[in-house]
Amino acid sequence: MTTPTIAAFDTRALRVPLTRPWAADVTSIGVVATHVVRSDGAEGWGFSWTPQIGLEAVHALLANDITAFAVGRAADPAALWPAAWAHLHEAGGGGVTTIALAGLDLALWDAEARAVGAAVSDLLGRRRESVRAYGSGVNLHYSIDELVAQVQRWVDAGFDAVKVKVGKPDLTEDVDRMAAVRATLGPDRALMIDANQRWSLDRATASIEALAASDLAWIEEPLRADDLAGHTELARRLASGSGVPIALGENVHTVHRFGDFLRAGAAQIVQPNIVRVGGISPLREIADLAVAHGAALHPHLLPELSGQLAMVLPGDVAEPLAEDVEDAGFGALGALRDTSPVRIADGILTETPHVGLGLRFA
């Protein structure tokens, strides 16, 4: 049977207001909604995403270089992705280029699944019917009372794991905040912390050892995201100290770079953001790489998308978790044309009935 080709591809940029701002200047998130039409008439919808910076650049790549490259080519997402990346990487091997490529890749996977009347998770091979979700928030600017109130909301909503931000200028303040969070969580719920690249190597070492008293499941992005040598040394130090695992990956953009970190033993948990790595096609390669190196994989943010992929990701090391940032889901923000393709209740994410990815923007 002849593989359908890409007959048309169109894009539009939009900003989605946040009901709970992530910072004084982060009051919305940027989305480029994409739409592909195949030569057999099948249609698919996807998106690219960048919270604050680069929306116009991503849209320009999609509307110009990616559209010109894609139209007329075979609409097989897994086969097309390497050629598309090779075509675009002159503009950068990862970052804006891979974020933009996700808009094409997701639309093609959506079309593939819609053509057979299935959800993408069924098309790819579902391994589980539900995944645990953890409560997450952009909360470093919260007072300790606001932070504890947020954690209590997650406890009341049935989450058995939460993630909060650390990185205050005074380490004592971080220690006090995490002690209050742990007291609210009790001893049986998991606590993860995220430094968002704020620390130097020595500061990270001291901070993690001090914060380990709050019983941490992982430390996320303790150092600059591209600091391979620093993360490798930090992993060595933590292994002989508190033993807190390092998680990273939301700002790692290619399977090649994930390979660098995994081979060096610089991370025990990887967190690819499905959009930032370029879509579903490269995510599947990263998942295989994580399995080969004995690392857990928990996709980053975007639960309406990553929750669906968590249904099909391998669980050899640990069952994948979905991240639910408070009041930031596309469905909760009113950004979707249809009902959200996932539901989170009592800390568990399940899919709702839909075809494709079920993610069409209003």
Task: Find the domain containing 68 and state its range.
Answer: 6-117
What pLDDT score does 223 carry? 98
Provide the percentage of residues in the chain whose pLDDT is more than 70: 100
CATH number of the domain bearing residue 294: 3.20.20.120
Provide the percentage of residues in the chain whose pLDDT is more than 90: 96
Domain total in the chain: 2
What pLDDT score does 23 carry? 82
Across the range 271-293, mean pLDDT stands at 98
d(CA 181, CA 214): 8
Same domain, 98 and 140: no
Same domain, 304 and 285: yes
Same domain, 110 and 129: no
- Kindly tell me if the per-residue pLDDT of 77 is higher than 90: yes
CATH number of the domain bearing residue 110: 3.30.390.10
From the list 293, 298, 300, 354, the catalytic residue is 300
What would the DSSP string read from start to end of 299-358?
Answer: --S-HHHHHHHHTTS--SSS---EEEETT--TTTTT-BSS--SEEEETTEEEEPS-SBT-
Same domain, 108 and 250: no
Same domain, 191 and 111: no
d(CA 69, CA 6): 10
Looking at the domain assignment, is residue 359 inside a domain? no
What pLDDT score does 101 carry? 98
Same domain, 167 and 43: no
Looking at the domain assignment, is residue 286 inside a domain? yes
Q: How confident is the model at residue 28 (pLDDT cuts 50, 70, 90)?
A: very high
Which of the two residues, 30 and 24, has the higher pLDDT score? 30
Contact 341, 351 (CB under 8 A): yes
Q: Does this model's pTM top 0.75? A: yes
- Kindly tell me if the per-residue pLDDT of 2 is higher than 90: no
Looking at the domain assignment, is residue 129 inside a domain? yes
What pLDDT score does 47 carry? 98
From the list 165, 253, 293, 354, the catalytic residue is 165
15-29, 183-197, 218-232, 283-297: least confidently modelled range: 15-29
Q: How confident is the model at residue 218 (pLDDT cuts 50, 70, 90)?
A: very high
β-strands 342-345, 269-270 pairing: unpaired
At which of 72, 90, 117 does a domain end? 117
Looking at the domain assignment, is residue 356 inside a domain? no
At which of 51, 86, 117 does a domain end? 117
- Kindly tell me if the per-residue pLDDT of 1 is higher than 80: no
Looking at the domain assignment, is residue 357 inside a domain? no
What pLDDT score does 14 carry? 96
Looking at the domain assignment, is residue 361 inside a domain? no
At which of 82, 101, 117 does a domain end? 117
131-160 residue pLDDT tens = 999 999 999 999 999 999 999 999 999 999
Across the range 212-225, mean pLDDT stands at 98
Across the range 69-94, mean pLDDT stands at 96
Same domain, 31 and 63: yes
Across the range 198-203, mean pLDDT stands at 98
The pLDDT mean for the chain works out to 97
The answer to whether 231 is a known catalytic residue is: no
Looking at the domain assignment, is residue 149 inside a domain? yes
Q: How confident is the model at residue 24 (pLDDT cuts 50, 70, 90)?
A: confident
The answer to whether 163 is a known catalytic residue is: no
d(CA 75, CA 80): 7
